[in-house]
Amino acid sequence: MKVLDDFDFTPRRIEQNEELDAVAWAENNGWVVRKMQWVGRKSAPDRLFAGYGQLFLIEMKRKGKTPSRDGKLSAGQREEFARFAAVGVKVHVFYTGEAAIAFLQGHMPLV
């Protein structure tokens, strides 16, 4: 049987793995991390990262094979994140644990 030309054998990592990589790294490097969930509401960012005098809200999305297939924010998430933006709080969205880790490293004091 011939494999179709458009079949992709690239290994995939699920969103949860990427998120947990960032969480493990952060907790091992002085950050306090909490899973977020609203009572009676939907569309909370995934995690709150607190450390070094800063708070960050982070949403992890799944990386797709192409940018057009990357995980997208739901309508509820776009609305909720806009509420935060209206009061000056940015929700950071990352597609890989590596990108989230690099972001957090950039907000740590140089030693």
**CA–CA dist 23, 58 (Å, integer):** 11
57 and 45 Cβ atoms separated by less than 8 Å:
yes
Of 89, 57, 94, 55, nearest to 73 by C-alpha is 94
Q: Is residue 4 part of a domain?
A: no
Q: Is residue 111 part of a domain?
A: no
CATH of residue 65? 3.40.1350.10
Q: Is residue 7 part of a domain?
A: no
pLDDT value at position 63? 76
In sequence order, which residues have a C-beta less than 8 Å from that of residue 13 and are 6 or more positions away?
A: 63
pLDDT value at position 3? 64
pLDDT above 80 for 111: no
Cα 38–43–49 angle (5° rounding)? 70
Q: What is the pLDDT of residues 7-65, one digit of tens each?
A: 665 655 555 788 999 999 999 999 999 999 999 999 999 999 999 999 999 999 987 76
Cα 13–103–52 angle (5° rounding)? 125
Q: What is the pLDDT of residues 66-110, one digit of tens each?
A: 666 678 899 999 999 999 999 999 999 999 999 999 999 999 998
> Domain residues for 68?
15-105
Tally the domains of the chain.
1
pLDDT value at position 99? 96
pLDDT value at position 4? 67
Instruction: For residue 25, give the H/E element and its range.
Output: helix 15-28
